[in-house]
Amino acid sequence: MILIGETMISITVFPIMQGNDYPTAGNLLYGMIMKDIDREDKIVLNMEGVSLIPSMFLNTSLGRIIHERGVPFVKAKFGFSNIKASDANRIRDYVGRFE
């Protein structure tokens, strides 16, 4: 992914989920995102190797950011790579519940 004139960070989600329960993994991801959220134009979550994206994980990561910053902010700021179509639809539906 090339974004001309924009800064971007990519976070690989799979290692965050390994060895952690879903709420803990979501909190860890939230912390990593918040560290860079105002410095980067785009945050790309690399979902390679992630086989399940449960609500308990989304609630403590993206859901928390949606509550703090709003849906338009999340839609503009976040992208995904190496994500299965079914998982992309799940995240789209999840974010849509907040609109």
Domain boundaries, the chain: 8-96
pLDDT of residue 5: 58
Distance CA 85, CA 41 (A): 24
pLDDT of residue 2: 47
- Residue in the block written with tokens 């902010």: 73
Sheet with 78-81, strands from edge to edge, namely 8-12, 42-46, 78-81
Which pTM does this prediction carry? 0.90
pLDDT of residue 68: 97
**What H or E segment, with its residue span, contains residue 79?**
strand 78-81
38-54 burial code (b ≥16 CB/10 A, e <16): eebeebbbbbeebeebe
Sequential pLDDT tens for the chain (99 residues): 444 557 889 999 999 999 999 999 999 999 999 998 998 899 999 999 999 999 999 999 999 999 999 999 999 999 999 999 999 999 999 999 999
pLDDT of residue 1: 46
Amino acid at 81: S
> In Å, what is the CA distance from 15 to each residue of 22, 38, 48, 49, 59?
12, 23, 10, 9, 18
